[in-house]
Amino acid sequence: MAAPVQQPPQSSGGKRKGKAQYVQAKRARRCDGGGPRQLEPGLQGILITCNMNERKCVEEAYSLLNEYGDDMYGPEKFTDKDKQPSGSEGEDDDVEAALKKEVGDIKASTEMKLRRFQSVESGANNVVFIRTLGIEPEKLVHHILQDMYETKKKKTRVILRMLPISGTCKAFLEDMKKYAETFLEPWFKAPNKGTFQIVYKSRNNSHMNREEVIKELAGIVGSLNSENKVDLTNPQYTVVVEIIKAVCCLSVVKDYMLFRKYNLQEVVKSAKDPSQLNPKQPAQAGNGKEAKLESGDKSDRNDPAEGKNNQQVVPENNEELGQTKPRAETQVVSEGGAEPELESQVTGGSESNENDLS
């Protein structure tokens, strides 16, 4: 019987690696940072949109956040690898002491891996999510924009918008209502009050109805204090709703219009008349529980990270500054014959010129 012919070994030169090798290496790198690897309920952080270069966006975000993070909170502290847990080496023979030492080493290793800023998978293209630990995202981002607004010094090239995310929950209406009732209290529950607007954006999600979400959130704000009123021209607070897949990201920010909707490319440009930022917005605040939905604003069509589902709440029974009429209009009136108290209007497309990287 003839022996089987052995195949000569194939040279690996010039041939690509298998896809599985790249996938395993990528997963291993993501595990090195510790903590969650993707956006999920329960996280705080900063949501950043970019222009087709996510890797460069992460590098710029780390540089910018570390610069201002060290300024606000001091240099980041790390656990010393060589630091030994309490106890002398003579106790190593004792099983209990050896176990305590091992647990201490594991805890020290875990703490060392949990960085102040850590990039995680956002679940959408041209969107980066930086998970934060031990800081307040809304204060840090406001500090960054305040400095850039005053100095007019451009510090990024590919980062477009930088939105703080103070809380995340499951992107289902009942979960969002339950979470928002507690989340919005620090800003809107009596005796606290203020004018507000709601901006809404959905990515890679088809089961959420934007009209229902905005109506429910506006109702919650009104139930916390009847003196909360809608004002798009110069609101005290902007409620940011960002939905990515099955995760809803919420935050309440200040100076949203002053800082050009938190756009780092626009905030460093020369100031313009606030009435020119969005000529379709009404000039006065309104109140009432009616929600008027308007679509057709295409000012952000060039931003690859923005889509068609971006809306914001604006007052209804007021004169508009521009003469352009909306393409489509639908009106949602709350049940009951009572006179409206909280009035809101949803307009599509809240971004403008976000892809200007000059």
CATH code, 187? 3.30.2300.10
Query: Does residue 322 belong to any structural domain of this protein?
Result: no
Q: Please give the sequence-ordered ranges of beta strands (E in DSSP) within the chain, or none if there are none.
A: 45-50, 117-120, 127-132, 159-165, 167-170, 195-203, 229-230, 237-244, 247-253, 291-295, 311-313, 328-332, 344-348
Query: Does residue 212 belong to any structural domain of this protein?
Result: yes
Buried b (16+ CB within 10 A) or exposed e, 87-120: eeeeeeeeeebeeebeeeeeebeeeeeebbbbbb
Q: Between 332 and 132, whose confidence is greater?
A: 132
Domain count for the chain, please give it. Answer: 1
- For 160, phi then psi, to 5°, come to -100, -80
Sorting pLDDT into bands at 50, 70 and 90, what band is 344? very low
Query: Does residue 13 belong to any structural domain of this protein?
Result: no
Query: Does residue 202 belong to any structural domain of this protein?
Result: yes
If you ran DSSP here, which 8-state letter would residue 92 be given? Answer: G
Q: Rounded mean pLDDT of the chain? A: 74
Can you give the residue range of the structural domain that contains 258? Answer: 45-74+104-268
Could you tell me the CA-to-CA distances from 195 to 39, 187, 321 in Å, in that order?
Answer: 30, 10, 19
220-224, 245-249, 270-274: least confidently modelled range: 270-274
Query: Does residue 171 belong to any structural domain of this protein?
Result: yes
What does pTM read for this prediction?
0.64
Query: Does residue 213 belong to any structural domain of this protein?
Result: yes
Q: Which two tokens stand for residue 343?
A: 């009035």
Distance between CA 312 and CA 214 in Å, rounded?
9
The predicted model gives 155-181 an average pLDDT of: 96
Sorting pLDDT into bands at 50, 70 and 90, what band is 142? very high
Query: Does residue 156 belong to any structural domain of this protein?
Result: yes
Query: Does residue 282 belong to any structural domain of this protein?
Result: no
Q: Residue written as tokens 């959905």?
A: 202
